[in-house]
């Protein structure tokens, strides 16, 4: 990973510092990205950032007026799943764009 068992400890520390810096940069980049998932009925949307943290949820009045708990639960699940899939794909794409993490198979 860092040049073999006999590798220079200084080089290993240098590479670890570089990787740590890359991770911090990537975390900042990912936090600034937004991914929106919309339910199939288009009455609910959820926004996640690139670190998979929920930023917002919007529910159309029409969905609330239906007073259908199962429909609301299903809509939340659909929107969240879509946003999460998009966020995961976006994070992977961002990681590739930044050159991944050589030596870690990424």
Question: Where in the chain are the domains?
Answer: 26-93
Mean pLDDT to the nearest integer, 23-42:
89
At 11-24, the pLDDT tens digits run 888 888 888 888 88
Burial of 88 (0-12, 13-18, 19+ CB in 10 A): middle
Mean pLDDT, rounded, for 92-103: 70
pLDDT for the residue 20: 87
Number of Cβ within a 10 Å radius of residue 16: 11
CATH numeric code, 26-93: 3.30.1310.10
């Amino acid at each position: 990973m860092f040049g073999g068992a006999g590798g220079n400890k200084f080089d290993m520390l240098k590479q670890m510092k570089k990787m740590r810096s890359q991770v911090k940069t990537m975390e900042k980049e990912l936090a600034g990205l937004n991914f929106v998932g919309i339910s199939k009925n288009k009455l609910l949307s959820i926004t996640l950032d690139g670190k998979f943290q929920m930023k917002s949820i919007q529910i159309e009045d029409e969905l609330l007026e239906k007073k259908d708990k199962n429909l609301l639960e299903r809509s939340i699940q659909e929107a969240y799943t879509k946003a999460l899939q998009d966020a995961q794909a976006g994070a992977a794409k961002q990681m590739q764009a930044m050159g991944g993490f050589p030596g870690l198979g990424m």
